[in-house]
Amino acid sequence: MICQYFFGITNKEMNESKTFKNYINGQWLDASTHDTFEQRNPSRLSEVTGLFPLSSKEDTRLAIEAAQSAFTEWKILSPFARAKYLKKVLALMIERREDIAQIITLENGKIVSDSLGEIDSAIAEMEFQINEGLRLFGETVPVSIDGVFAYTVKEPLGVVSVISPWNFPFNVPVRKIIPALMAGNTCVFKPASLTPQTGYMFTKLFDEGGIPAGVLNMITGLGSVVGNILVTDPRIKAISFTGSTEVGMGIHQKASVNATRTQLELGGKNATVILEDADIDLAVKAVTRAAFACSGQWCTSTSRAIVVKKVAQEFIEKLVKATNAIIVGDGFDQNAGMGPVCGTDQFENIKKYIESGKKEGAILLAGGNEVRNNHLKEGCFIEPTIFVGVKPDMKIAQEEIFGPVLSVITVENFEEAIKVSNDIVFGLSSSIFTNNLKHAMTFVQQTEVGFTHVNLMTSLKEPQLPFGGIKESGVGMPEAGKTGIEFFIKYKTVYMKYS
Ligand code: NAP
Ligand code: MG
């Protein structure tokens, strides 16, 4: 009240300033029903950060229609003209870096330095994918008939949908939407309901950058309503989704009805193997970072450390020490090394997994509690948690927790380490710490994942290399690298008789 009086802002005005809109055909629109949903700061659940359109099926169809109309012009534009638009967006992104980071931290909870890191990674990926879009080369191919010239061209698919998660609410849309647009497609984008304002910030850059109406449309609302139309409407030619394995598998099934192409980046249970000849300090640093950064909510987080018996004690002691040094706090607090988890569902789910670990007989060596310090008890804070003595078949060793919980599994030798690391439904990322070349090469050959690392953390990635999982971690072509844009094109083969 005092605050509102001081700034002369009424409750109504405050709500209006925090009310956001959909972006359809170059216009900012409410949901047709005017219904909204709220987003809350995971560090302080009493704080509503904004109200967002709770869009209907009809609103979603309107966005698809806008993208369909815009496709006619956008697809025949030279890639150099498309790049010109996107470079304007990129320049704005670089300019707004700090502002966008604030919104990521506000909605997701991750510490500001990690939010800035997310934007920097998005900027690097955007630069790379704009340039990839200028290299959509075809082939000329000799044929058996005299006087016939044959070649291939790469063409866009049409309207594509992008459905993104809350853990990288800025980088994931960039990774999907930039190659889609550079290839000549138009797009309807649905951000996760936990991070809609980041989706708005992203879309605003395109609006201010002067992107033609309908080329990019953004619509907020329920996954089961908006998301479902974006998956089942026959005008959608490809779906790029990042999220849970459960939702992703459902999308794969539904998309098959219209033979819609899918790119699904799903869950993970990424392992780091530590052998007896490893640089233990290096391994501890990598595992601590990859297990607890963003509260363990990277899809590439390390959630299993598989360590051989001979060095288990040293590794565990150093790991616990490093973990206990992590300061949990509000992402805006400069001293904090780890923020809250993103929302109450995550909070409750992670606590259930911690209880399950205790019940199954794993030994809790660090953390294990929600944080109850005065000002933090209002948010979704969980201590960085380590279980040791974990058996490979325990729930905490098999299921994706997506939180700051690390399971340490001790094994006899290298062979057992490989077996345990692969004995799981997921296959996103992995890593091994060793100085033995034979073990490193054998691991790389046998690890069942989309990308792996030697003496590096499971989360390391670069824009020019493919990013995606196998098994239940991914379906379709990987994102990023050359495949990032390849997913969004189709081939046309041309035979031309000239004499
Ligand atoms: P999620 O529930 O699967 O949601 C992801 C997105 O899908 C959200 O935008 C969500 O909308 C939407 N959605 C939900 N139900 C849908 C439906 N029936 N049809 C179409 N869309 C639907 O996952 P999440 O909770 O946001 O994210 C956590 C999961 O994502 C974790 O399992 C994590 O491993 C995975 N992830 C994987 C990667 C990777 O690259 N492999 C990267 C990041 C995250 P609402 O928000 O409105 O529900
Ligand atoms: Mg969900």
- Which CATH number describes the domain made up of 11-266+473-493? 3.40.605.10
The strands making up 148-156's β-sheet, listed across from edge to edge, are 140-141, 148-156, 489-497
Cα(383) to ligand 2 centroid in Å equals 22
Closest CA to 178 of 82, 60, 315, 42: 82
Burial letters for 101-128: b for 16+ Cβ neighbours within 10 Å, e otherwise? bbbbbbbbbbbbebbbbbbebbbebbbb
Q: Is the dihedral of CA 467, 424, 299, 417 positive or negative?
A: negative
d(CA 182, CA 106): 31
What separation in angstroms does the CA of 334 have from each of 74, 105, 328, 455? 44, 12, 11, 29
Of all atoms in ligand 1, which is nearest to the CA of residue 428?
A: 41
Measured from the alpha carbon of residue 244, the closest ligand is 1
Residue 244, ligand 1, Cβ within 6 A? yes
Cα(209) to ligand 2 centroid in Å equals 31
pLDDT of 356-414, one tens digit each?
Answer: 999 999 999 999 999 988 889 999 999 999 999 999 999 999 999 999 999 999 999 99
Residue indicated by tokens 């109200």: 51
Closest CA to 432 of 245, 306, 269: 306
Q: Other CB atoms closer than 10 Å to residue 208's CB: what's the count?
A: 12
Residue indicated by tokens 């379709």: 476
Cα(183) to ligand 2 centroid in Å equals 29
d(CA 431, CA 289): 13
Cα(266) to ligand 1 centroid in Å equals 8
What separation in angstroms does the CA of 285 have from each of 321, 382, 425, 454? 11, 20, 27, 14
The topology (CATH level 3) of 270-462 is Aldehyde Dehydrogenase; Chain A, domain 2 (3.40.309)
**pLDDT, position 6:** 30
Measured from the alpha carbon of residue 195, the closest ligand is 1
Which residues, in sequence order, are CB contacts of 298 under 8 Å at separation 6+? 167, 168, 290, 459
Cross-strand partners of 187: 160, 216
Cα(151) to ligand 1 centroid in Å equals 40
Residue 189, ligand 1, Cβ within 6 A? no
Cα(479) to ligand 2 centroid in Å equals 21
Q: Is the pLDDT of residue 353 over 90?
A: yes
Closest CA to 357 of 382, 383, 380, 386: 386
pLDDT of 98-125, one tens digit each?
Answer: 999 999 999 999 999 999 999 999 999 9
Pocket test for ligand 1, best of 163, 239, 302, 459 (most atoms within 8 A of CB): 163
Residue 193, ligand 1, Cβ within 6 A? yes
Structural tokens at position 134: 């200028």
Q: Is the pLDDT of residue 335 over 60?
A: yes
d(CA 294, CA 338): 6
Q: Is the pLDDT of residue 11 over 50?
A: no
Closest CA to 133 of 88, 67, 86: 86
**Torsion-angle region of 142 (φ positive above 0: left; ψ -120 to 50: alpha; else: beta):** beta
Residue nearest to atom 39 of ligand 1 (CA): 265
E-state strands within 236-290:
236-242, 261-265, 270-274
**pLDDT, position 374:** 80
**pLDDT, position 375:** 87
Q: Is the pLDDT of residue 1 over 90?
A: no
Pocket test for ligand 1, best of 37, 168, 242 (most atoms within 8 A of CB): 242
Q: Is the pLDDT of residue 3 over 70?
A: no
Q: Is the pLDDT of residue 7 over 50?
A: no
Give rounded-to-5 percent helix, strand, coil for the chain.
40, 20, 35
Measured from the alpha carbon of residue 227, the closest ligand is 1
Residue nearest to atom 35 of ligand 1 (CA): 243
Closest CA to 157 of 490, 456, 437, 498: 490
**pLDDT, position 81:** 98
Structural tokens at position 431: 């890593």
Query: Which of helix, strand or coil describes residue 128?
Result: helix
Of all atoms in ligand 1, which is nearest to the CA of residue 469?
A: 41
**pLDDT, position 378:** 95
Q: Other CB atoms closer than 10 Å to residue 179's CB: what's the count?
A: 30
Q: What angle (nearest 5°) sits at the alpha carbon of residue 29, between those of residues 27 and 30?
A: 175
d(CA 92, CA 181): 17
**pLDDT, position 243:** 98
Which residues, in sequence order, are CB contacts of 342 under 8 Å at separation 6+? 42, 107, 108, 109, 166, 167, 194, 195, 295, 297, 380
| Domain positions in the chain | 11-266+473-493, 270-462
d(CA 283, CA 96): 35
Q: Is the pLDDT of residue 29 over 70?
A: yes
Residue 222, ligand 1, Cβ within 6 A? yes
Pocket test for ligand 1, best of 39, 161, 167 (most atoms within 8 A of CB): 167
**pLDDT, position 372:** 86
Higher pLDDT, 12 or 475: 475
Q: Other CB atoms closer than 10 Å to residue 228's CB: what's the count?
A: 16
Of all atoms in ligand 1, which is nearest to the CA of residue 467?
A: 40
Cross-strand partners of 210: none
Cα(111) to ligand 2 centroid in Å equals 22
What separation in angstroms does the CA of 296 have from each of 31, 197, 218, 291? 34, 22, 28, 5
CA 58 and chain centroid, separation: 27
pLDDT of 70-105, one tens digit each?
Answer: 999 999 999 999 999 999 999 999 999 999 999 999
- Could you tell me if 240 and 160 are in contact, meaning their C-beta atoms sit under 8 angstroms apart? yes
Q: What does the DSSP assignment read for 347-387?
A: HHHHHHHHHHHHHTT-EEEE--SB---GGGTTS--B--EEE
Catalytically annotated residues: 265, 299
Cross-strand partners of 60: none
Q: What is the mean pLDDT of the chain?
A: 96
pLDDT of 225-261, one tens digit each?
Answer: 999 999 999 999 999 999 999 999 999 999 999 999 9
Query: Which of helix, strand or coil describes residue 22?
Result: strand
Measured from the alpha carbon of residue 192, the closest ligand is 1
Residue count of the chain, please give it: 499
Res. 4 pLDDT band, cuts 50 70 90: very low
Q: What angle (nearest 5°) sits at the alpha carbon of residue 217, between those of residues 176 and 264?
A: 30
